[in-house]
Structure 1
Amino acid sequence: MKRLLGTDAFSTIFLVSNDTIRLRPECFVMVGGPKDGVFLEGLDVTSKEFNEWVGEQRAATPDTARLPASPIGADETAGAWRNGAVKAEVLRERLLPVVAVIPFAGVDGQGLGSHFGDAVAQDITRSLSRSPFIAVISHLSSRNERLRSAQLSELKDLLNADYVIYGQVRLGDDRFRLDVDFVDAATGRLCWTEDFTGKVKHFFEGSDEVVHTVADAITRAVLSEAIGPLTTMRLPDIETHRLLSAGITLMHRQAPSSFKQARECLEEVVGRAPRHSLPRAWLAKWYVQHIKQGWSTNETADIAVAKDTAARALDCNPSCPFSLAVNGFVRHHTASFDRAFAFHEEALAHDPNNSLAWLLTGVLHTFIGEGEQAVLHTQRARKLSPMDPYQYFYDSMAAGAAAVNGDFENALELADLSLQANRRYPSTLRVRTYSLAMLGREREAEACAADLMRADPGFSIAKYRASHPAATYDTGRQWGEVLHGAGVPLNA
């Protein structure tokens, strides 16, 4: 297939690892329905089991063929599929930035360093492949011999990548030093350079943190680099993948002006890619975050827009795990917990390692007072998202789970960790206030409640009881009483 399509086209369309070949989700929308033709017609595969499965799919009724097995979203999407409303679309520009990690050159003069540098690059590539914010060129493509002698200006065309990571590795005794350069492939600009050190033994044991640290730094750099063009260029002139990354980055910053600009970026991407699920799902999440951040002036309207936008995301791709998780997230705020649980379960059925779905399932258990399950799910989410640039959100939700489970000391540790990254996040401040009060540290609880009111001046117990998803449960009633005792007013 690579010979048929050519290297550039193949790299644009497919993601290749050591054991899998996948279509790049940002390049295509799965389309069509039974009326558009025979399912997989013309595909000649000499496998009895495969052909039996194809026969079962072709024999399925029109209303169920090629639709998700779960009823999740079926009422919103089935009509579009049956009527042929969903059409094929290939984006002129990709939605996710593409990163290539070139094997690190050894400088030991014996060849051992180059072999080790290749192994490190492979592990960094694997780690990056788990990030939902970027697409990464396979290690097999990135270690092509042509790339080792190529000029930096040639790498973008050879790899079809937006960013290139390369450098050197130095071995000494049982330690290594990795010199990493992060370069914008289009301009050749060196965005950052940094050194990392570790132990060779730990690397091969899988216990060295250098790989995850480098991958985390790369992910953060990609998202940070997307902000730059916003200061000098009009939105219509900025590449699509930069706009989406900028929108994701800005919606997690503390300034209301940045949050507002995030919506503008996401809306621009939705306009460019109206039949792609991912931008709409992020936009729906923006509206939920608008409420959770305490900036919404009309929560009912925001939730209505979030629900509609999330449903449209599933219209585009009914099996997108992120869109399914976001649809569940919206239902947190409509008191539809059964529906929310179902959406999260469906997301995990499609992607068992979807950290957001694990996290939000834990949040639901927190709301209804099932502390043990809440901790189990939120901790699983944190383990699955060690590189998430917005770890504060995971830490905040895990803090709430620990508090409901009665582990107030751990809740404080997680809340403090979250506040280091976002010191004004109301949810974290509520957890911290509640935990301090439950530990009998009244003065500290009162001081934290004052911080909460500064971060969210319109907050009150009445507002909490009227709008918080847990308000009608014993958990919410108890939290309201404790927060009031710490100094949160009954009415704004």
Structure 2
Amino acid sequence: MLTKNKNITIAVLPFQITSEEDRIKQLFLGFTEDLITHFSKFIGLSVISSYSTLRTKDISNKDEVEQLGADYLVYGTVRHRNENLRMSIQLIKTEDQSLVFGNQYDESIDSLLEAQDDVVQQIVTVLEEKINYNLLSHSYKKNSVDLAAYENYLIGMNTLQKGSKDNDIKAREYFNAALEIDPNYSLAYTGLSLSYFNFWSCLLWERWDESMQGAHYFALKAIELDGNDYTALGVLGRTYVYFGEYEKAEHYLRKSLRMNSNDCSHLLRVAFSLMFLGYNDEAVKLYHKAIELNPFHSNHYYAHGSNYYLGIGDFKTSIELSKKTAMNSWTDYPAFVAAAYLQLKDYDNMWRCWDEYMVLFEKAVYSGKKTLLEEALEWLIVVNPFKNFTYLTPLIEFIKTEKRIINTNKSDDKNTVHETSFILKGDVWEMNYLGKNIILKDAKGFHDIYKLLSHTNQEFHCLDLMDAGVDESSNAVSFDHKAKAEYHKRIKELQEDIAEAESLNQIESVSSLREEYDTILDHLSQSLGLSGKTRKVGSTIEKARSAVTWRIRSSVKKIEKSHPELATHLSKSIKTGTYCSYKPEIEVDWAL
């Protein structure tokens, strides 16, 4: 153990009450006792008993206050009129009599208990933020833990909050020291997870996978020992977001909120993850709750709020909040602000913020393996794993378009690599989207997609994509054995995928997979007889519609395995059916 720290001590003094009614006096005696009981449930916080505090009648009496031996005093006054109460609550630091926190509450007698919860949450949050100790228990209970292990944990958390690579590494020494004393101390594993979380989400590009896996592994270790550890649950939710396992991510994030919805730092972490999942309105609400719980918050709170308001499309509020905080709150934060300015067509400020992002990125992240711009664009995509549409996407496309214009002016070389492309080269397709290039073997569905991309917003009849003529009288469109085998292979794959998705309760995935599965079965039922033999179909158009739909979806599925972002864009932008079209969700300049 490196050093020792005593618990923080707090004393709740008797309320000064102007009313002479015995009922009010008795009510606030009980209120004081309840406050003391609630405060005592927080790890790291010692509370002076009411037996001692009742003797302190005058807060200005230094001798009486010193005898209490408290680091902080909770002092309140109550004015009573009719059925209404006005309470003034102050948190005072005894060392210099300075006011740390003050608030006023106008309540009815009936709503007093609800006000009591607000007082407890706000004062403990202020203590946590001001003194840099983790005073909150994950489930409001004091676990039996070796004091030395606990002290090492506290010091480790305090070191983590300094927010640098060296301090993250130093903090691990304390957490490992705690585990040497108590190998089953779950909070020490949580601390280790957070130390890797800092590395992963803020600092090291070249050790990204290692750091993410470390955050995930130690969060799982913490959860194995304490399934209610809200911090570990929150980190686990974030890692599952990055793994693309969105249903699991939401499960752990919401459980973490159930375990503790009053830790302002935790609220901001969870809000960020919910933003990635598309719950932007909820992220805004959590942001405001964090502000309410911690009225003396640091300015970096505004950076969080700026991101969440961008998510709901309130660009002006997003920008106003950005002006209250430092642009270097985290590396890619200026890019979010640039995205808000782009939506308002304020290009000067957009470029100013983008330039700030590029400076921060080059200093903190850039590896030199690619051009600075290529890596900076890739970083935005990797560190922000949005499930659905994000306003970062139009910004990325805008920046890439500007780069293409510059390259086009400099060279007319036919071999120039296009930033966004969908090109057939021999028997393979080369696809480039958002700076990521993939190569896939030729398939009929890629030809369909190519034709749609070549004619943005234009509708094509399914027969045009099939290159088939309409012959309703013949009622005979061949269904070859090779196609039949491919369909049956895909059916087997879908059955396995559906079973796996159902076991993981991935509702959206199950729905999408079943839709494709039903489409194939519907098509086969029209093309095959009861014995499985090829039969004549009743409509050439229906055959073409089913076939085109299946092969486009199948091809998008192949793309998804190598390039999820491109697959998501195509799924949202391509409409299939009797008439097919490509209507992009965002403007894309394809090189074809």
TM superposition score normalised by structure 2: 0.49
For 1:171 and 1:382, the matched residues in 2 are separated by 28
Match of 1:165 in 2: 72
Shift of 1:275: 1.1
Match of 1:430 in 2: 335
SS of the counterpart of 2:333?
Answer: helix
2:89 touches 2:104 (CA, 8 Å); kept in 1? no
1:470 to 371, 382, 385: 385
| 1:417-460 deviation line (CA, Å, top 9, x unaligned) | 4x35x843224333212112222222222222233233332353
Structure 2 counterpart of 1:248, one-letter code: M
Report % sequence identity: 12
Q: 1:126 and 1:484 mapped to 2: Cα distance?
A: 59
Match of residue 327 from structure 1: 236
Name the CA shift for 1:96/1:170 in 2 (closer, same or farther; >3 Å). Answer: same
Counterpart among 200, 206, 209 of residue 300 in structure 1: 209
Query: Which residue matches 1:282?
Result: 191
Q: Which amino acid aligns with 1:182?
A: K
Deviations 1:192-233 (A, max 9, x none): 63276666757988899998775554333331799xxxxxxx
| Structure 1 residue aligned with 2:474 | none
- Aligned match of 1:375: 281
Indicate conservation of the 8 Å contact 1:434/1:479, yes or no. yes
Q: 1:221 to 1:353 in 2, by over 3 A?
A: closer
Matches within 5 A, 1:350-429: 350=259, 362-368=271-277, 370=278, 373-380=279-286, 382-383=288-289, 386-387=292-293, 395-417=302-324, 419=325, 423-429=328-334
Say which is worse superposed, 243-252 or 282-291, in terms of deviation: 243-252
Taking a change above 3 Å as real, the CA distance of residues 218 and 111 of structure 1, as seen in their structure-2 partners, is: farther
- What is the TM-score when the length of structure 1 is the normalising length? 0.57
Which protein has greater RCO, CA pairs closer than 8 Å, 6+ apart?
1
Amino acid in the other structure paired with 1:338: E
Amino acid at match of 1:446: W
- Higher Rg of the two aligned structures: 2
User: Which structure 1 segments of 5+ residues have no match?
Assistant: 1-92, 157-162, 184-189, 227-237
- Structure 2 match to 1:244: 153
RMSD of Structure 2 on Structure 1 (CA): 5.1
The correspondence for 1:315, drawn from 204, 220, 224, is: 224
Go from structure 1 to structure 2 and tell me whether the alpha carbon gap of 1:355 and 1:96 turns closer, same or farther (over 3 Å shift): farther
Distance (Å, rounded) in 1 between the aligned partners of 2:101 and 2:272 = 36
The aligned residue for residue 475 of structure 2 is none
- Comparing 379-388 with 437-446, greater Cα deviation is found at 379-388
Kept in 2, the 8 Å contact 1:280–1:313? The answer is yes
Superposed CA offset, 1:230-281 (max 9, x none): xxxxxxxx96555434433443445544444444444433444431222312
Query: Relative to 1, partners in 2 of residues 1:484 and 1:250: Cα closer, same or farther, differing over 3 Å?
Result: farther
Moved more, 453-462 or 95-104: 95-104
State whether residues 265 and 290 of structure 2, in contact with CA within 8 Å, keep that contact through their aligned partners in structure 1. Answer: no
Deviates further, 329-338 or 99-108: 99-108
Aligned to 2:353: 448
Q: CA deviation at 1:298?
A: 0.6
**How far apart, in 2, do the equivalents of 1:377 and 1:146 lie?**
41
Q: 1:217, 1:352 → 2: CA distance?
A: 15
Q: What residue number does 1:71 align with?
A: none
| Native 8 Å contact 2:178 2:185 kept in 1 | no
1:392, distance to aligned residue in structure 2 (A): 5.9
Q: CA deviation at 1:178?
A: 6.8
Q: Aligned pair in 2 of structure 1 residues 439, 177: CA closer, same or farther (>3 Å)?
A: same
One-letter code aligned to 1:324: L
Letter paired with 2:249: A
Paired letter, 1:380: L
Alpha-carbon distance change, 269 to 154 in structure 1, aligned in 2, over 3 angstroms: farther
Report the Cα distance in structure 1 between the residues aligned to 2:108 and 2:180, rounded to whole angstroms.
45
- What residue number does 1:336 align with? 245
Check conservation: 2:271, 2:286, Cα contact below 8 A. no
Question: How much does 1:376 deviate?
Answer: 2.0
Q: Shift of the alpha carbon at 1:304?
A: 1.6
Does structure 1 conserve the Cα–Cα contact (< 8 Å) formed by 2:337 and 2:353? yes
Supply the distance in 1 between the matched residues of 2:161 and 2:402 (Cα, whole angstroms). 28
Aligned to 1:102: 12
Q: Aligned letter for 1:317?
A: D
Deviations 1:391-434 (A, max 9, x none): 666654443232122111222234444x35x8432243332121
Distance 1:105 1:329, change over 3 A: same
Range moving further from structure 2, 216-225 or 328-337: 216-225
Contact 2:153 2:187 in 1 (8 A): no
- Equivalent residue of 2:219, what SS? helix
2:494 is matched with: none
Cα distance between partner residues in 2 of 1:453 and 1:182:
44
C-alpha distance in 2 between matches for 1:307 and 1:462: 25
Q: 1:254 to 1:318 in 2, by over 3 A?
A: closer
- Residue type of the alignment partner of 1:339: K
Equivalenced residue count is: 367
Q: Give CA deviations for 1:16-52 in whole Å, capped at 9, x if unaligned.
A: xxxxxxxxxxxxxxxxxxxxxxxxxxxxxxxxxxxxx
> For the residues of structure 2 that align with 1:265 and 1:354, how far apart are their CA atoms?
23
5 Å-filtered alignment, 1:61-210, equals 97-103=7-13, 134-136=43-45, 142-145=49-52, 148=55, 164-166=71-73, 180-182=91-93, 190=95, 193-194=98-99
Name structure 2 gaps, 5 residues minimum. Answer: 57-62, 136-146, 367-374, 407-433, 436-592
The equivalent residue for 1:60 is none
What amino acid does structure 1 have at the position aligned with 2:230? Answer: P
User: 1:114-145: per-residue Cα shift (whole Å, max 9, x none)?
Assistant: 999978967876886898xx55457xx63224
Which aligned pairs between 1:226-237 and structure 2 lie closer than 5 A? none
Would the alpha carbon gap of residues 284 and 406 (structure 1) be closer, same or farther in structure 2, given more than 3 Å must change?
same
